[in-house]
Amino acid sequence: MVMKKYPGLKIEIQGYVCCIDDGGDGWDIETRKYDLLVQRAKIIYTYLANYGIDTSRINYKGFGSTRKIYPNETSDCEKMRNRRVEIKVLQW
């Protein structure tokens, strides 16, 4: 795993949703809140923490539908690509 191989690596896990035009978050059935994108990023954060990665090296953030790859989603494929998690390297 890259995070274990490079102990100085710090990352930010960024969650996104599709199908919302106001930049907001999606409805999470499990939490019963509008925090789907945060939960999407948090699950990866939790996985890495459980795998032994120091949580001072990782954080997570949600961006809603503010940074869509496809701003005018016209197909299921485009919607699927807007529903994503990206990893941003903060420090190598």
Whether the model clears a pTM of 0.85, i.e. scores above it, the answer is no
Confirm or reject CATH 3.40.190.10 for domain 8-91, answering yes or no.
no
What pLDDT band is residue 22 in, cutting at 50, 70 and 90? low
3-class secondary-structure state, position 84: strand
Quote the CA–CA distance of 34 and 81 in Å, as a whole number. 20
The yes-or-no verdict on residue 34 having pLDDT over 90 is no
pLDDT higher at 88 or 15 = 88
Residue type, 87: I
As a dihedral over the C-alpha atoms of residue 42, residue 43, residue 47, residue 49, rounded to 10 degrees, the angle is: 20
Residue type, 73: E
The answer to whether 15 and 41 have CB atoms below 8 angstroms apart is: yes
